[in-house]
Structure 1
Amino acid sequence: MGDKTHTHPGAAGRAPAVDRPTSVRNVVLVGHSGSGKTTLVEALALTAGAVNRAGRVEDGGTVSDYDDIEHRRQRSVQLSLVPVEWDGIKVNLLDAPGYADFVGELRAGLRAADAALFVVSAADGVDGSTRMVWEECAAVGMPRALVITHLEAARADFEETTRACAEAFGADDPDAVLPLYLPLRGPAGPDGHAPVTGLIGLLTQRLFDYASGEREEAEPGPEQLPLIEEARNRLIEGIIAESEDETLMDRYLGGESLDVKTLIGDLERAVARGSFFPVLAAAPAADGARQGLGTVELLELITGGFPTPPERVAPAVTTPDGRERALKTCDPEGPLVAEVVKTASDPYVGRVSLVRVFSGTLRPDETVHVCGHGLTDPRGEGRARHEVDERIGALSTPFGKQQRPVAHCVAGDLACVARLGRAETGDTLSAKDDPLLMEAWRMPDPLLPLAIRAHSKADEDKLSQGLARLVAEDPTMRLEQNPHTHQVVLWCLGEAHADVALERLRSRYGVQVDTEPHRVSLRETFAARATGRGRHVKQSGGHGQFAICEIEVEPLPAGSGIEFVDKVVGGAVPRQFIPSVEKGVRAQAARGVVAGYPLVDVRVTLVDGKAHSVDSSDAAFQTAGGLALREAAAGARIHLLEPVAEVSVLVGDDFVGAVMSDLSGRRGRVLGTEQTVGGRTVVRAEVPEIEIGRYAVDLRSLSHGTARFDRVYARHEPMPAQVAERLREEEKQAS
């Protein structure tokens, strides 16, 4: 941000060996899909000398070469790390996907970073999902800055985009979101569009011209200074308002010319505290150019204004049995505490874990304790807590498809660890003799079900291992083996998330699967009292089979289950066979009596029966009990019960009406609404689960990606007759 002579390592671009946490900056790039995050990372790598002018690293790849799926889809689907060096500082650039289906990768980036760089397209503006991420960062006090991209677009307007950012992100203090530089435009082309060729620093009043492909500094012309006066004064006032020097405002209002270095120092401290959010502009380098517009200024801000790892408060740490443990912040000599923020599989080296070290120093070939949280969702399902000792393999830092070895990883830095076979995303690494566990970070609950089955017997043998690896890598994916529907279900965040999961199963783990419609766990129950007689009499030589029983069935309140009552008198059914009748009734209830769904909430009373002194047996009375229940159902009205979920939708006020109308159209009962901060409302409703199988996708479309929802099982209740009939018809056609 000041006048500096910058050094960088040259085209080889090897990441520096870091021995001090203060020599590291961890920055996550945030923004909607298509805002230009990956392009910006490559431009910063070029400016820092980590790649050559063609954007290639030593092996001929680019910094974004990592996942073949990303190349095929032309979209980032996972968090990637690109380390560069600037002025002796190692900058870990964490490029997070912008698409909502991969918010788990974004959350991992936020966990690993100490500051966030919000990338906003001048052509598209600020979207709702980016606002929500900003609020997440604000809630934890994460320092932030903004960079405006796509200035080359015909409709791009830097000033208007800056105003939109101030409105979206500066609700509490619009003067905390201000530009540090203003773009300079060159002569207009034949289409009337004037390209951005340089920047004017508002504090230094210096012109930085990128028209030649190299950053050239000059004095602005007399005609340019009046254009920046208003923006400069507003910036200075914004910095002074955040300054710890209470005399600055009086001196400024008194007409004193404040020292630029003092203002820059106050600016950097305000940015590091997370109380001031500067706006910058950037564009990729033109063909043959070595520096992209604004990239030097952005690297200056990152190294000078963003906080060092010791300046950030680390997550809470406990012992595995739950006792709190106080640690010195980011101490390389302290106890080892590191966290797996991302897990990936490499076809050559196996599992690779991206690790952020919060305390101590991680070294190759040492044994560490791996401890993972037991993650449980509202359905009571999830991963079991696990602990294991593992030997660390080689440490490296990634760059494109390369893995460059490092000797160690100090507190505050990130590195890749090879062959941690049992470690999953979110696990804590600590010393073998001093096990510790970091507080878990919040992940969204996957709410889109994807029912799958193995394509062939060969695939069936590999399916369980492939699925286990998928969910170990991605904590936003949940695996369910439903005992009622007998389906294997992958719960995902959206359609793109599901598609990527299937593609990884096929390409990475060699498992071909077929998808099928997801079925919800339905139940059956009696609508009214009924009677049934079960007669199982067979004679085929030798001992025959003889059992007769008569039952009465009556409905019970929801949640009662199956109740069996014995009212036999006179020994019509011998005492030793009454448990056999109950066993047969319960077995038939589990199989269902009409549509093949489990029978629940009934009382079955055994009232009479007959037995034979020789041919009656346990098996015969079990069979008779099941037959009696089926006969009772044949002459009775049976209700199909469907699961109902309690749904809470957090949505912007502009979409409340549309959401409530949509829920009503799904046979939902809206229970009420509740206003929250930020112009949003929580809509609470009860909705049949069969109606919200794709709600994760539909709600995103309905709210333009700004709403989210949670659901919890409430109860089973009778399905309307017309819906039940339609379901039966669909099942007949499917079979």
Structure 2
Amino acid sequence: MVEKASNGAADGRAAANGKAVIAERPADIRNVALVGHSGSGKTTLVEALAVATGAVTRAGRVEDGTCVSDYDDIEQRQHRSVQLSVVPVGWEGIKINLLDTPGYADFVGELRAGLRAADAALFVVSAAAGASGITGPTMTLWAECAAVGMPRALVITHLDATRADFDEMIETGRAILGGGAAESMLPLHLPVYGPPGADGHRPVTGLIDLLTRQVFDYSAGTHTRTEPTADQAELIESARGRLIEGIIAESEDETLMDRYLAGAEIDPATLLADLERAVARGGFHPILIAAPPPGEGREGLGTIELLDLITRGFPTPAEHAVSAAAPGGPAAALACDPAAPLAAEVIRTASDPYVGRVSLVRVFSGTLHADETVHVSGHPDGDHERDHDLDERIGAVSAPFGRQQRPLGQAVAGDIACLTKLGHAETGDTLSAKDSPLLIEPWPLPRPLLPVAIRAHGKTDEDKLSQGLARLIAEDPTVRLEQNADTHQLVLWCLGEAHRDVALERLRSRFGVAVDVIEHEVALRETFATAASGRGRHVKQSGGHGQYAVCEIEVAPLPEGSGIEFVDKVVGGVVPRQFVPAVEKGVRAQAARGVAAGHPLVDVRVTLYDGKAHSVDSSDAAFQTAGALALREAAAAARISLLEPIAEVRVTVSDDHVGTVLGDLSARRGRVLGTEPATAGHTEIRAEVPELELSRYAVDLRSLAHGGAAFTRDYVRHEPMPAQVAEVLRKAGAATT
């Protein structure tokens, strides 16, 4: 039940027969991630490419009627991608794994997983959005791909929008993304506009190929080649020279430029070969145009040209080196060879209601076979226990296709497949041969910085909460779970509000656990701002064995970080030796509960200097109670300071928004420590900010900098809170009580 990528129709299409497209060699595979802002048209483009290759018969729909790249019910309800999906298609004997990544910043973890599995990237931008379609996150990802030498191309969508301007989009893209290498980012085609409609709008009906000087007409819903008109020929010559110069500048043939400048006509085949080599090594970034098919059974504009670029210009998996290390050994590049030892990486983890856990893996070396035993290893992350260095037997090997799983039987080096029955493997883990264990360094994941405090909605949910959270974190490693020891709250750390909503929805709909979101509490503390004395008297007589304990203490403030220091200065045995530890225990217990606003007391010295005992009625319990009472009385006579946690914040922001971010940090009671240049066009700001002011900073910063900023936060210390802020908190606590 499989179909080779090479046995499609004569024009390169693979029949839409529900069978998986397979490849037997890495040279016959292309892994391409589609990257772009939410709403740029990535998913629509994937659907158009699936139609163009014959992978589906209806516009972007599989047999059950859902979108070809929709996997999650949440995606269908919210009408946006929230997780990575893979759609394999066949074209001219090549298997193309299209990795549709989420465009919303909250799901950047899924996006980075897609880039890890890919060997090239298509950056999709919407002409309808103009310059704002190339957002801060898009620029950051472009720079990250450039840093690792990943080949990239730019695809312009929505060119038929009312306010779309092709020339403006080209110059904007080259200026923002091209930087100093703008000459290596040039369009391969010019749009052909049809006659204006009643509203004056002119649809894009075709493309002018600048290299071959041919026109590709899509007006009838099929890809037809025609000769240019006189007006089109004039447009070609004005843009073609610039493209040729850009290609020749990246050519390995040093004589080509001299021949061109001398007036020689360069063969289009030579230019095309040089273009493809330059694209494959990341030296040239072509700009293409794409649009969805206008109706059922019709081809999307630019899809044929895009497929040709992917198959001929993008690199094979063998050209994308990934390193792995044996236990205790140095890292070495993996051989992308089906006959080599197995090395694969879990790219993402999902749950299926019928088959259980499904692991999406990229095979970097060797061949994965169904029902074989593999070795699972990974990097401990410190957040939760994971089973590492164990052998597991995998179940079926299949190809993902929308919500379907199409049987593969095996996956060779360079391919992407789904595995079942891997109960312990999590995202980022390495699968290798059981007799040759390897470990691949995982890709960096963003730190979740939006806290969400939760509690089980009811008793039945409380029983299932632990298991549901474990499954959630296994699926999404960008969610971090914290059981706060100070506030006793269960906190989910997420990347943003949309990420939070999806995580809670998955808990409810997929794992059957309903939770309530409660106000997140910051771990405040208390301390004595002035010295004070206190007397604790616990005397009770109820006819039987009584309780008698009296102790007197002095409390003095200590420097930050000192904790609770207990000193015994009792003389004369007024408090018998055996009861002194009980007094200390009572003092420490009361300090943990707090003495003013219910927050732990820290950084004080408590000195026991006097007291009374009874030969019969005194006990450990009585002196524990007396110690607690003495501390409370001392607190009533002293000035108590609330201590708030301070975090060091490092914000990397585009230079255009530095002033806005600095002003916002000051409004949050932050102290700016300094600024320094970061990457080109960006500045790093260091500041110390109270954590009370950072609860929503992950959301607010994105709004302030229009997505062009990132930050980290690390706890530094606790320090006294301003009196006016402390008073507001006290009143709020009293009102709640």
Distance verdict in 2 for CA 1:384–1:55, change over 3 Å: closer
CA distance in 2, matches of 1:99, 1:234: 35
**What secondary structure does 1:151 align onto?**
coil
* Structure 1: runs of 5 or more not aligned: none
CA distance in 2, matches of 1:427, 1:11: 34
- 1:149 pairs, out of 150, 157, 181, with 157
CA distance in 1, matches of 2:375, 2:702: 40
2:44 is the counterpart of 1:27 = no
Asked if the contact 1:213/1:288 (under 8 Å) is kept, the reply is no
CA distance in 1, matches of 2:121, 2:161: 25
CA distance in 2, matches of 1:387, 1:728: 51
2:286 is the counterpart of 1:278 = yes
Query: Amino acid of the residue matched to residue 325 of structure 2?
Result: T
CA distance in 1, matches of 2:298, 2:63: 17
Counterparts of 1:61-460 in structure 2 under 5 Å?
61-125=66-130, 126-314=134-322, 316-320=323-327, 322-376=328-382, 381=383, 386-460=388-462
2:4 is matched with which residue? none
CA distance in 1, matches of 2:420, 2:18: 22
The worse-fitting range, judged by mean Cα deviation, of 714-723 and 287-296 is 287-296
1:646 is matched with which residue? 648
Distance verdict in 2 for CA 1:373–1:474, change over 3 Å: same
CA distance in 2, matches of 1:124, 1:62: 24
CA distance in 2, matches of 1:327, 1:32: 33
Asked if the contact 1:24/1:413 (under 8 Å) is kept, the reply is yes
Counterparts of 1:462-541 in structure 2 under 5 Å?
462-541=464-543
**What secondary structure does 1:179 align onto?**
coil
CA distance in 2, matches of 1:646, 1:694: 16
Asked if the contact 1:12/1:57 (under 8 Å) is kept, the reply is no
Asked if the contact 2:321/2:333 (under 8 Å) is kept, the reply is no
Distance verdict in 2 for CA 1:552–1:233, change over 3 Å: same
Cα offset for 1:54? 4.1
Q: Identity of aligned pairs, percent?
A: 70
CA distance in 2, matches of 1:137, 1:144: 8
Query: Amino acid of the residue matched to residue 374 of structure 1?
Result: P
Cα offset for 1:319? 3.2
Asked if the contact 2:86/2:97 (under 8 Å) is kept, the reply is yes
Distance verdict in 2 for CA 1:128–1:192, change over 3 Å: same
Cα offset for 1:326? 2.4
Query: Amino acid of the residue matched to residue 181 of structure 2?
Result: D
1:716 is matched with which residue? 718
The worse-fitting range, judged by mean Cα deviation, of 296-305 and 388-397 is 388-397
Cα offset for 1:103? 0.6
CA distance in 1, matches of 2:424, 2:571: 61
The number of aligned residues is 726
CA distance in 2, matches of 1:243, 1:13: 42
CA distance in 2, matches of 1:665, 1:733: 26
Distance verdict in 2 for CA 1:649–1:54, change over 3 Å: closer
2:584 is the counterpart of 1:582 = yes
TM score, norm. by length of structure 2? 0.96
CA distance in 2, matches of 1:67, 1:422: 22
CA distance in 2, matches of 1:384, 1:657: 44
Question: 1:493-536 CA deviation, whole Å, 9 max, x = no partner?
Answer: 11111111111111111111111110010101000111111122
**What secondary structure does 1:171 align onto?**
helix
Distance verdict in 2 for CA 1:639–1:99, change over 3 Å: same
Distance verdict in 2 for CA 1:244–1:406, change over 3 Å: same
Question: 1:76-126 CA deviation, whole Å, 9 max, x = no partner?
Answer: 111111000000100000000101111111011011100000001011132
2:19 is the counterpart of 1:14 = yes
Cα offset for 1:676? 1.9
Question: 1:365-393 CA deviation, whole Å, 9 max, x = no partner?
Answer: 111122222224xxxx5665734322101
**What secondary structure does 1:208 align onto?**
strand
**What secondary structure does 1:34 align onto?**
coil
* Structure 2: runs of 5 or more not aligned: 1-8
CA distance in 2, matches of 1:599, 1:370: 46
Distance verdict in 2 for CA 1:165–1:424, change over 3 Å: same
Question: 1:339-384 CA deviation, whole Å, 9 max, x = no partner?
Answer: 11111111111111110011111111111122222224xxxx5665
1:47 is matched with which residue? 52
CA distance in 2, matches of 1:118, 1:50: 23
CA distance in 2, matches of 1:440, 1:403: 26
Cα offset for 1:325? 3.9
**What secondary structure does 2:567 align onto?**
strand
Distance verdict in 2 for CA 1:384–1:399, change over 3 Å: closer
2:639 is matched with which residue? 637
Query: Amino acid of the residue matched to residue 408 of structure 1?
Result: Q
CA distance in 2, matches of 1:91, 1:178: 24
Asked if the contact 1:13/1:49 (under 8 Å) is kept, the reply is no
RMSD in angstroms over aligned alpha carbons? 1.5
Distance verdict in 2 for CA 1:325–1:647, change over 3 Å: closer
Cα offset for 1:289? 4.1
Query: Amino acid of the residue matched to residue 71 of structure 1?
Result: Q
**What secondary structure does 2:635 align onto?**
helix
**What secondary structure does 1:570 align onto?**
coil
CA distance in 1, matches of 2:610, 2:703: 60
CA distance in 1, matches of 2:674, 2:22: 57
Asked if the contact 1:184/1:199 (under 8 Å) is kept, the reply is yes
CA distance in 1, matches of 2:670, 2:552: 41
Q: Which runs of 4+ in 1 moved over 4 A?
A: 381-385
The worse-fitting range, judged by mean Cα deviation, of 184-193 and 459-468 is 184-193
CA distance in 2, matches of 1:707, 1:700: 7
CA distance in 1, matches of 2:293, 2:422: 39
1:602 is matched with which residue? 604
Query: Amino acid of the residue matched to residue 381 of structure 2?
Result: L
**What secondary structure does 1:123 align onto?**
helix
Cα offset for 1:230? 2.2
Distance verdict in 2 for CA 1:382–1:172, change over 3 Å: farther
The worse-fitting range, judged by mean Cα deviation, of 170-179 and 420-429 is 420-429
CA distance in 2, matches of 1:527, 1:732: 22
Cα offset for 1:613? 2.5
CA distance in 2, matches of 1:350, 1:13: 22
Asked if the contact 1:533/1:548 (under 8 Å) is kept, the reply is yes
2:560 is the counterpart of 1:558 = yes
Asked if the contact 1:12/1:58 (under 8 Å) is kept, the reply is no
- 1:732 pairs, out of 703, 717, 734, with 734
TM score, norm. by length of structure 1? 0.97
CA distance in 1, matches of 2:58, 2:584: 80
Query: Amino acid of the residue matched to residue 62 of structure 2?
Result: V
CA distance in 2, matches of 1:204, 1:102: 41
CA distance in 1, matches of 2:521, 2:176: 41
**What secondary structure does 1:422 align onto?**
coil
Query: Amino acid of the residue matched to residue 9 of structure 1?
Result: A
Cα offset for 1:332? 1.5
